[in-house]
Structure 1
Amino acid sequence: MSKEVKQLIAENLGPVLLGIFINTYLYGLVSYQYGAYFLTKFDDPLWIKSTVLSLFLLDTLHSAALVWMAWVYLIEGFNDFIGLMTPVWPYPFTIAVTALTAFLTQLFLSYRVYRLTKGKLWYAGITIAAAGTLILGFVCTVKAWQVKLSTQLIGIRPYISAWLGLEMALDIIICGVLLYTLSQSRTGFARSDTIIRRLMRAAVQTGSFAGVFAVITLILFFTKADTQLYSLFGMPISRVYSNTLMDTILCRGELRDIMQSEREGTAIVSADFVDLTSGFRELICGPKTSLAAASTMGQNSIQLHIQKEVHVEQDRSSMVPTPRSVIKYMKHPGTGDKVPPDSPKDSYPPFHAY
């Protein structure tokens, strides 16, 4: 095997194989998250459950397609060096899946922005931008499907750069809005600030991780267009989106446990914390949870059993009966007979009569 052939394999087949390995590993992680979601009793509306199910189906289908592509290159196309330069259908399919996964993630986060800010313009703007980015992703898919050799991918550079650039810009905008809104909602309570910091971390990782992969993909796509080094980071982008989104969804269970562990009901759901926006509680307790249920969540999980015992000891010899008590007991108890006049003067009624 000549040196040129070895370099061809190393720069084309190697990155593809490593990208498939990374994608498969991330698929294993997100599969656990999908199982944890459906086993956890979240009171989510149908559209959120449908989003999670759609992501699961997309991740499963795409990961299986990439494994099949590895089989084609490594087994069926063994020693076929010309075949390494011919893209198979999972290549353009990767662009479509990434665009769909990013759209579903941004749609969910735009709803979170709306619930926190009550800004309809923010919600409409992010949704429209996400839809436009999705359409541009489908355009890139069609252009990539028409490519017959990997060297022809240079012709779709403008489409790929515009699509990934819009994805990164939209992720940064969503992340910035969430960070600003959450940072303004600090209450000073330790547990409520813990919840806010956890939500801020979820916002950062959702926008930053996928953005890093997209930036590296763009750099390699422009600087090493004659190779497939960009596949190392381009193939797993959709798994990065789904992993970070599922972590954002599942963290609500962790935050709900923090709220329920608070022994003082107002320490977590204080007036300042709830009045920030009426939708903030839905990010933790679920969109169907009412305000009364959220404000009493901590209290309903606490039961106090208090038992008070009082022991009274009294010296009867020092008791002086009232005249009414003496008249009441001028008769023998139980007999009805009056007390004889010659009875001892210290013959008083029992203690319980007073």
Structure 2
Amino acid sequence: MALSLLPDDTLGAAVIGFFVSCAVFGIFTTQVFTYFRRYFEDRLIYKLLVGGLWSIELLDQIFIGYSLYFYTVTHFGDPTVLLGDVIWTLVMQLVLGCLVGTIVKCCFAMRVWRFSKRNIYITGGLVFLILGQFGIALVYCIKGFEFRKLTSIHKLRLIASLSLGTGVVTDFTIAAALCYFLRKLKTGFRKSDTLVNTLSIYAINTGVLTATICLVTLILYNTRPDTFYFMAPYFTLGKLYAISFLATLNTRKVIRGRGTDREGSSTGNTSGARNTFFMVTNSGRTPRVPEYYSQQQKSMEVGVHQEVSIITDADEVDSPRSLSQPKVLSPV
């Protein structure tokens, strides 16, 4: 199948995708800034993970921008350049986008591991799908360097379809698993059940969004392989994965009705940062911060004082004789 040389179908679609990905990358950068400003006392592993994701996405944007510069500026007015060897940055961009998605989905698989009480079968199946998709994507990139021609895109349709299709299945499976195990954490109390419902909505929204973009890329790749239409949604896919992860980190304490590290530091509390990313569990393994125990102790003290006052009021109603003699309950 010959590659279309119409600028609207090729470079035009890629440029639109690059503009959209720039906007999405800006949103992601804002999320990163918010994270480091509010959760500056968070665990080092999370800081390194956030910084690593942002660095990969920055490099991804540079690769996309350089590729478009090569085709639209360096070879301005020469559409035949699309028939030549593919530039290496365009192929490497595929690897970076898939790498970000793999990292984020592995983090979500860890949440399934915790919420499912370490169910090795479900979590193992998710990890198998995640790593399988990444492996297929690497094969696609290797084959892309071997063919070296944009006109050979249609020859890699099977490999690309397997990778994108596995991504769709993985996203929906992770969202469904999180919702299922979150539902099992319901206790019947309104506050805790509301929290579980909110987390379920977050899981559905993030999973459906990324799966939809992945599905759109799959459909465009198979229906119009002679164009660059599929590049437009794929340029934003990795950044949407990163945003979903940052949104989870940035709403840990907000969802639970608590302040951020910066808000907590005004009262001298610095241990709130030890709150884990996994947020909800009823198994007792989630670490409790000191103010939790303080609030529990205060509530117990209030309950004791109320109990004493009720007994005192009851004694005042009793007759003087009842104060010196014990009451005998009627065996009704």
Q: Same fold per TM (> 0.5)?
A: yes
Aligned equivalent of 1:296, options 293, 297, 304: 293
Letter in 2 for 1:89: W
Greater alpha carbon shift after TM alignment, 100-109 vs 63-72: 63-72
CA–CA separation in structure 2 for the residues paired with 1:173 and 1:239? 20
**TM-score, structure 1 as length reference:** 0.71
CA contact (8 A) 2:57 2:239 kept: yes
The equivalent of 2:49 in structure 1 is: 51
State whether structure 2 residue 87 is matched by structure 1 residue 94. Answer: no
After superposition, give the CA deviation of every residue in 1:56-83 in whole Å (9 maximum; x if it has no partner). 1110100121122222222111101111
Letter in 2 for 1:277: S
Greater alpha carbon shift after TM alignment, 90-99 vs 212-221: 90-99
- Kindly tell me: are residues 297 and 219 of structure 1, through their superposed partners in 2, closer, same or farther at Cα, counting changes over 3 Å? farther
Identity value in percent: 23
CA contact (8 A) 2:67 2:89 kept: yes
Listed as ranges, the matches of 1:1-354 within 5 Å are 8-41=6-39, 44-86=42-84, 87-118=86-117, 119-258=119-258, 276-279=282-285, 281=286, 290-291=287-288, 293=290, 295-296=292-293
After superposition, give the CA deviation of every residue in 1:123-151 in whole Å (9 maximum; x if it has no partner). 33322332222222111111122333322
CA contact (8 A) 1:23 1:236 kept: yes
Letter in 2 for 1:101: V
CA–CA separation in structure 2 for the residues paired with 1:124 and 1:84? 42
CA–CA separation in structure 1 for the residues paired with 2:126 and 2:12? 38
Which runs of no fewer than 5 residues in structure 2 stay unpaired? 261-278, 302-332
- Kindly tell me: are residues 235 and 145 of structure 1, through their superposed partners in 2, closer, same or farther at Cα, counting changes over 3 Å? farther
CA–CA separation in structure 2 for the residues paired with 1:291 and 1:67? 46
Q: CA deviation at 1:259?
A: 8.3
After superposition, give the CA deviation of every residue in 1:293-322 in whole Å (9 maximum; x if it has no partner). 4743755999x9xxxxxxxxxxxxxxxxxx
Q: CA deviation at 1:246?
A: 1.1
Q: CA deviation at 1:42?
A: 6.3
- Kindly tell me: are residues 168 and 300 of structure 1, through their superposed partners in 2, closer, same or farther at Cα, counting changes over 3 Å? farther
- Kindly tell me: are residues 258 and 298 of structure 1, through their superposed partners in 2, closer, same or farther at Cα, counting changes over 3 Å? farther
SS at match of 1:23: helix
CA–CA separation in structure 1 for the residues paired with 2:64 and 2:281? 48
CA–CA separation in structure 1 for the residues paired with 2:121 and 2:41? 27
Letter in 2 for 1:210: T
- Kindly tell me: are residues 85 and 237 of structure 1, through their superposed partners in 2, closer, same or farther at Cα, counting changes over 3 Å? farther
SS at match of 1:55: helix
RMSD: 2.9
CA contact (8 A) 1:259 1:297 kept: no
CA contact (8 A) 2:116 2:181 kept: yes
Q: CA deviation at 1:256?
A: 3.8
Q: CA deviation at 1:188?
A: 3.9
After superposition, give the CA deviation of every residue in 1:10-51 in whole Å (9 maximum; x if it has no partner). 100111000101111100000011111122236654443332
Letter in 1 for 2:135: I
- Kindly tell me: are residues 24 and 297 of structure 1, through their superposed partners in 2, closer, same or farther at Cα, counting changes over 3 Å? farther
**TM-score, structure 2 as length reference:** 0.75
CA contact (8 A) 1:117 1:277 kept: no
CA–CA separation in structure 2 for the residues paired with 1:59 and 1:76? 24
Which runs of no fewer than 5 residues in structure 1 stay unpaired? 1-5, 261-272, 282-289, 305-354
SS at match of 1:156: helix
CA contact (8 A) 1:19 1:232 kept: yes
Letter in 2 for 1:49: K
CA contact (8 A) 1:151 1:225 kept: no
After superposition, give the CA deviation of every residue in 1:170-218 in whole Å (9 maximum; x if it has no partner). 1111110101111232334343233222211221122111111111111
The structure with more radius of gyration: 1
- Kindly tell me: are residues 85 and 202 of structure 1, through their superposed partners in 2, closer, same or farther at Cα, counting changes over 3 Å? farther
After superposition, give the CA deviation of every residue in 1:257-291 in whole Å (9 maximum; x if it has no partner). 3489xxxxxxxxxxxx9873335x5xxxxxxxx23
After superposition, give the CA deviation of every residue in 1:92-141 in whole Å (9 maximum; x if it has no partner). 11221122111111110111111111123323332233222222211111
CA–CA separation in structure 1 for the residues paired with 2:41 and 2:185? 24
Total equivalences in the alignment: 279
